[in-house]
């Protein structure tokens, strides 16, 4: 057995500039400096999408490693100090605990990690989204790993033809269940079609058992029990040589699907694929957006990135997203633009109900 590499992506919003739209360069520089200065890591890359800082780290310490999680936590704390000085918006908002306690999960930041033996050549794509929730990956992950209309390899590549295993999490009951695709896709779709509750956490290559994809499934609002912003998830996908090709992994994002989030975490809108430069939500605090950074791993070194959605081949998707955004906005405060009552991050319903309680008449 060769040595194993772990790719860890940990993200948090510790202060926006301006409002919830972007991250100030001083925070990015601080985070870069802290990661580069750590002897725990083989390599690192700091990205941001909207108001979230994404720490991309490679190491040999495995998943759920306390030292790696502590490094990420300390980095976010250091960035928060700067955010407070600059009075950035929502400084420290995703750090729900006062102190680190062994594992960053449950403390606010989102985490996606995978450990594997690096192949002869190891292309990976890291997706990072803002103004949406973890279930946003369900539809693209389904298309990438289970839909032959998206992924030609499922039909014509003998090393993929057996399909993939999907690990689905119930975020309310905190349970998990595995589905085998293609045999069980109808059963699986019953669940993953409800992305506010059921999320695809991991995908495994069926024949080899190798990890193929992992997402962050933290739901901040479930953790904090109050409005603390959306989760703005990340997802890591391995590509090529028995895994879906880079182009098959990117293909689902050519048709922007509706996701929950956007303004006040309480609206449905299209997920717009954008370049790093365009990753600054503005219109109605959105629309929700996603960036795809590609890397080749070389003994854990991150070679890249390739900013995939900068390609003009995604211009049409952006155009479509803008049209869908305008249509959805035209519904104003009506569902389905505004989310269903159970899904809204903000609501004035209790106060308004209280005010009007004597005016509701019982009907016989
Ligand atoms: C959505 C988001 C923003 C804010 C909105 C109001 O995830 O971050 O749309 O919800 O800008 O923010 P506050 O309540 O902080 O004024
Ligand atoms: Mg924010
Ligand atoms: Mg955000």
Question: Ligand 1 pocket, 288 CB below 6 A?
Answer: no
The confidence band for 307, taking pLDDT boundaries of 50, 70 and 90, is: very high
> Does residue 13 have an active-site annotation?
yes
The confidence band for 96, taking pLDDT boundaries of 50, 70 and 90, is: confident
Q: Which residues surround ligand 2, an ion (CB under 5 A)?
A: 13, 16, 20, 51, 90, 229
The confidence band for 221, taking pLDDT boundaries of 50, 70 and 90, is: low
Whose tokens are 């310490």? That residue is 61
State pLDDT tens for residues 106-140.
Answer: 788 999 999 999 999 999 999 999 999 999 999 99
Among 143, 206, 230, 255, the one annotated catalytic: 230
Among 105, 170, 207, 227, the one annotated catalytic: 227
Question: Ligand 1 pocket, 346 CB below 6 A?
Answer: no
Ligand nearest to the CA of 265: 1
3-state secondary structure the chain: CCCEEEEEEEEECCCECCCCCCCCHHHHHHHHHHHHCCCCCCEEEEEEECCEEEEEEEECCCCCCHHHHHHHHHHHHHHHHHHHHCCCECCCCCCCCCCCCCCCCCCCCEEEEEEEECCCCEEEEEEEEECECHHHHHHHHHHHHHCCCCCCHHHHCCCCCCCEEEEEEECCCCEEEEEEECCCHHHHHHHHCCCCCEEEEEEEECCCCCEEEEECCCCHHHHHCCCCCCCCCEEEEECCECECCHHHHHHHHHCCCEEEECHHHCEEEECEECCHHHCCCCECCECCEEEEEEEEEECCEEEEEEEHHHCHHHHHHHHHHHHHHHHHHCCCCCCCCECCHHHCCCCCHHHHHHHHHHHCCCCC
Ordered by start, the domain boundaries in the chain are 1-115, 118-351
Query: In the numeric block, which tokens belong to residue 86?
Result: 């600059």
* Distance in angstroms (rounded) separating the CA atoms of residues 316 and 290: 15
State pLDDT tens for residues 157-175.
Answer: 999 999 999 999 999 899 9
Question: Ligand 1 pocket, 229 CB below 6 A?
Answer: yes
Give the residue numbers of the binding site for dihydroxyacetone phosphate.
Answer: 20, 131, 264, 285
The confidence band for 104, taking pLDDT boundaries of 50, 70 and 90, is: confident
More confident residue, 3 or 237: 237
**Residue 61: half-sphere exposure toward Cβ, Cα within 13 Å:** 17
The confidence band for 226, taking pLDDT boundaries of 50, 70 and 90, is: low
* Chosen CATH of 1-115 out of 1.10.1060, 3.30.70, 1.20.120, 3.30.1370: 3.30.70
Per-residue confidence (pLDDT) for residue 218, from 0 to 100: 76
Per-residue confidence (pLDDT) for residue 347, from 0 to 100: 77
Statement: residue 205 has pLDDT above 80:
yes
Atom of ligand 1 nearest to the CA of 284: 9
State pLDDT tens for residues 247-285.
Answer: 999 999 999 999 999 999 999 999 999 999 999 999 999
State pLDDT tens for residues 33-62.
Answer: 999 999 999 999 999 999 999 999 999 999
> Does residue 227 have an active-site annotation?
yes
State pLDDT tens for residues 277-296.
Answer: 999 999 999 999 999 999 99
> Does residue 207 have an active-site annotation?
no
């Amino acid at each position: 057995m060769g040595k194993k590499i772990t790719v860890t992506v940990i993200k948090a919003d510790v202060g926006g500039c301006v409002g919830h739209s972007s991250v100030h360069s001083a925070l990015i520089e601080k985070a870069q400096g802290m990661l580069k200065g750590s002897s725990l890591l083989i390599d690192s890359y700091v990205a941001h999408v909207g108001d979230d800082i994404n720490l991309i780290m490679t190491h040999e310490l495995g998943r759920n490693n306390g030292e790696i999680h502590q490094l990420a936590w300390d980095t976010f704390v250091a960035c928060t100090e700067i955010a407070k000085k600059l009075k950035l918006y929502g400084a420290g908002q995703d750090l729900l605990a006062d102190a680190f306690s062994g594992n960053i999960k449950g403390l606010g930041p989102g985490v996606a990690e995978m450990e594997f033996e690096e192949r002869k050549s190891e292309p990976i794509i890291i997706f990072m989204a803002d103004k949406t929730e973890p279930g946003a990956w369900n539809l693209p992950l389904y298309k990438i790993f289970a839909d032959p209309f998206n992924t030609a390899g499922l039909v014509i590549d003998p090393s993929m033809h057996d399909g993939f295993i999907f690990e689905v999490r119930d975020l309310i009951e905190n349970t998990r269940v595995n589905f085998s695709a293609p045999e069980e896709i109808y059963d699986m779709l019953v669940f993953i079609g409800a992305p506010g509750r059921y999320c695809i956490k991991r995908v495994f290559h069926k024949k080899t058992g190798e990890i193929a994809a992992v997402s962050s499934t933290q739901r901040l609002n479930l953790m904090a029990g109050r409005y603390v912003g959306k989760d703005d998830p990340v997802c890591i996908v391995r590509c090529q040589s028995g895994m879906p090709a880079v182009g098959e992994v990117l293909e689902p994002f050519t048709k922007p699907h509706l996701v929950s989030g956007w303004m006040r975490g309480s609206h449905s809108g299209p997920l717009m694929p954008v370049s790093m430069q365009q990753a600054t939500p503005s219109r109605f605090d959105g629309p929700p957006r996603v960036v795809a950074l590609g890397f080749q791993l070389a003994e854990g070194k991150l070679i890249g990135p390739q900013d995939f959605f900068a390609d003009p081949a995604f211009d049409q998707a952006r155009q479509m997203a803008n049209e869908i955004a305008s249509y959805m906005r035209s519904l104003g405060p009506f569902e389905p633009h505004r989310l269903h009552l159970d899904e809204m991050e903000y609501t004035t319903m209790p106060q308004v109900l209280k005010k009007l309680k004597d005016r509701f008449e019982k009907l016989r």
